[in-house]
Amino acid sequence: MTDLFGSEVREGCKNFSRNNLGQRRAGDFYQTPPSMVAQFLEILPPSFFPVLEPARGKGAIANVLASWYGWDKIETYDIADDGTDFLEETRTFPEIITNPPFSLSLEFILKCKKVATSRFSLLMPIDYLHGIERYRRVFSVKDEFRLAWIHVFTRRAMMSDEIREDGRYETGMITWAWYTWLRFGTEDPRIQWIDNDAYVLRGER
């Protein structure tokens, strides 16, 4: 089976970190439309390989990465699929690209700082910028990683358990953005926009 990017689709289940124990929130159960990955890669492609995707789910992000760069250039897993827990990862990777479970976003960011050696990019709601704990533990921290880019989608996207092969999606209530941290970055984060209007469904099924 292949997706709209001509990539082999590797089936799994989007069910990351502790869901089997009944501890994962229902709002974490979704897939990433492949066009949201492809549009981001067009703007900020990886500079170093291999790229790690540690919350693979059904492979939405991993399949796009593989179709662009080859399976030999990425490492991917999911705790519900093969038992590998990113939060217990002991290896390092040059870059990480993933859509983390929202309830574990903070833990993912802190772990990415230990695992990534160059940069990491997480797809999260724009509202993640809000919150005193996030400010104190993520955005105001002066360490070797600096939030370098925020790529905001101009249209809201509905995340669901199923994705369309053409990469299109309905609109939802959440504005999404790719957050990218750069090791040894020196500048304040730059905000750029991703025009995803062409991928929004308008009464189509």
Residue 135 within any structural domain of the chain: yes
pLDDT in tens, the chain (205 residues): 444 444 444 443 343 333 333 333 444 557 899 999 999 999 999 999 999 999 999 999 999 999 999 999 999 999 988 999 999 999 999 999 999 998 999 999 999 999 999 999 999 999 999 999 999 999 999 899 999 999 999 999 988 878 888 899 999 999 999 999 999 988 889 999 999 999 999 866 5
Residue 39 within any structural domain of the chain: yes
Residue 194 within any structural domain of the chain: yes
Residue 80 is inside which H or E element, if any? helix 79-82
Residue 89 within any structural domain of the chain: yes
Length of the chain: 205
What is the 8-class DSSP label of residue 86? G
Residue 10 within any structural domain of the chain: no
Q: Are 177 and 152 in contact (CB under 8 A)?
A: yes
Q: Are 34 and 60 in contact (CB under 8 A)?
A: yes
**Structural domain range at position 58:** 19-199
Q: Residue 182: what are its φ and ψ, rounded to 5°?
A: -120, 130
What's the number of domains the chain is made of? 1
CATH of the domain at 162: 3.40.50.150
Place of tokens 């299109």: 168
Residue 2 within any structural domain of the chain: no
